[in-house]
Structure 1
């Protein structure tokens, strides 16, 4: 057995830190300038076309990006389909609720990029997902921002790698902060990225515990607004089909804005992991700040999304460019 002294341990941590930062340092905005200069417009056009078909494209793509980056980094490994010999990430129970429109957005954008002769097999699925995510945020009324590019697609995808990597709707602030810290993201990044819940929906089963069986003292979570409880119970009665979905933001579910934080101030966070951002004194001042200033929230969200896009990236020979986003080459 090798005993590691403090010096060697510090050197190991430093080497890992440098390796992570060297990978993300290879990302740049003009990565495809010489190979596929119009790639961002091609992707945006494909995303716009997809949104015209269904609004679900927007929250589905945004959620897909988070689930990809938090498991093995932003490498499109969540796109891989399972085979007889490998159960992939997308088939882990925590990913089964990912809407198919998110996957289809990346597939359609990839087809559009590869239809341009000089772009064919030059742009990674990981970068296409990154660009598409930026575009759905902007097309829903959110900020426009520049993305860093140059990711390679991951070479592995397994359901077992997902366990413990994604936040649960029951998480408290300590659990949220710890999970985000594992990905190099700060408490402020966590609060900003939680703001993505201004869009999209969740299944009723994810909130049953807050409505009907919260704890030994209260059947209903006392932090939920009483009028909101009535609304939620009407939408999610106990005998309802578990596949029925409800909006994350009860007020402006199709608009990317700071109303998510205003909702938290009124006790209208859908998940425990949402409402705790307001009930915990450590995060409450940030919620109040962004509830009162949408521009500050947008700036924080952009910064945190760029940081998220650097998590666990593969560059150079650490990955490849998939011909089919759903299968390894």
Structure 2
């Protein structure tokens, strides 16, 4: 009996220690945004923060992650990836478009966008661990990455990555040995999906994304992903302590414009394959298909309220804010190695 109590005490201490260093901790009774974590019993709560102070600091002294210089090869790799994403290999690997039309029947648009977020999401600014590093490939099937659309999306990314690397290897202009990383594919495809679905233009959201991310060799701590049932205080503290502003939190939440809930049949918005600003009107109206993490963006803080209202009224303002916030997310926690300064003559 004594050994059992001692073992139980050790497990509790280890759990508390793990959560104490984790700013993405879950609150009680959560349902993950991708259908994963469901609270059963007591859960440790996200440590509190002074939301007003951090929100002001995020505006006056914003956190700016590394933004590496891009050489000719870097830019060329990105264009090769863009072309592969558009059409795939007709008859074998689907692309975002088929016969000039959006290929939503064969490509899970929402799943691909969520995949980008789920790779970058487990980021801990305090420790510098996690981020946009390609670790998602080790995390599939583990909550919150049990959403079948994310798993299908990851399989597509594997096939597209092979196509991209085959094209690079066969191109005499590209230095020998250049291969695109999983991390770059995951972030680039999210931007390409947004463009394909009618969102910000390629020049706004895809072209500014840097490439050259190194791939992680192990999984990140996926418990750092926020759940769909997270409270406002926990959600705001999570993003603020990791270097985002409340406006960026709201803009990034607009990714729920695309796709479906875990059941793969319930759309998040009225037009799940179209990237517009309808999501923000749904947030204001408390639409039932949204998660609590969406609904709490309205009615809890002046800055988030203002951002939601602005984006609901002004699609162009949302597109601009989303493109900038997405670029920032894709640089969080990444480590870099350029594909090359110059193409071969």
- Normalized against structure 2, the TM-score is what? 0.65
The equivalent residue for 2:142 is: 92
**1:135-157, CA deviations, whole angstroms, 9 ceiling, x for partnerless residues?**
11111111122221111111211
How many Å separate the matches in 2 of 1:39 and 1:166?
27
| Cα contact 2:80–2:164 (8 A) shared by 1 | no
Which deviates more from structure 2 when the two are superposed, residues 100-109 or residues 255-264? 100-109
Matches of 1:65 and 1:109, distance apart in 2: 15
Aligned equivalent of 2:323: 302
Alignment counterpart, residue 248 of structure 1, candidates 268, 277, 281: 268
Q: 2:298 matched to which residue of 1?
A: 278
RMSD of Structure 2 on Structure 1 (CA)? 2.7
**Which residue of the partner structure matches residue 325 of structure 1?**
none
Question: Secondary structure, in 3 states, of the residue corresponding to 2:133?
Answer: coil
Tell me if the contact between 2:278 and 2:312 (Cα under 8 Å) persists in the aligned partners: yes
1:83-116 C-alpha deviation (Å, 9 max, x unpaired): xxxxxx2232211125222112211211211222
User: TM-score, normalized by length of structure 1?
Assistant: 0.68
Alignment of 1:284-295 (within 5 A): 284-295=305-316
Query: Counterparts of 1:302-321 in structure 2 under 5 Å?
Result: 302-316=323-337
Any residues of structure 2 matched to 1:195-234 within 5 Å, and which?
Answer: 195-203=254-262
Matched, 1:115 2:157: no
Q: Which residue of 2 aligns with 1:28?
A: 70
User: SS of 2:74's equivalent?
Assistant: coil
State the partner residue of 2:154.
103
5 Å-filtered alignment, 1:158-237, equals 161-163=221-223, 165-203=224-262
Aligned equivalent of 1:76, options 104, 129, 134 = 134
How many matched pairs?
A: 247
Cα offsets for 1:196-218 (capped at 9, x unmatched): 11111113xxxxxxxxxxxxxxx
CA-CA distance at 1:174 after TM superposition: 1.8
CA displacement 1:8-43 (0-9 Å, x = unmatched): xxxxxxxxxxxx97x823253755247786343234
The separation in 1 between residues aligned to 2:77 and 2:251, in whole angstroms, is 34
Partner of 1:48: 96
CA distance in 2, matches of 1:149, 1:106: 16
Pair 53,139 (structure 1): closer, same or farther in 2 beyond 3 Å: closer
Q: Which sits farther off after the overlay, 30-39 or 68-77? A: 30-39
Q: What is the Cα deviation at residue 175 of structure 1? A: 1.2
Question: Conserved in 1, the CA contact under 8 Å of 2:78 and 2:211?
Answer: no
1:150 to 193, 207, 212: 212
Q: Distance in 2 between matches of 1:24 and 1:112?
A: 29
| 1:63 counterpart = 2:114 | yes
The offset of 1:128, in angstroms, is 1.5
State the match for 2:13 in structure 1.
none
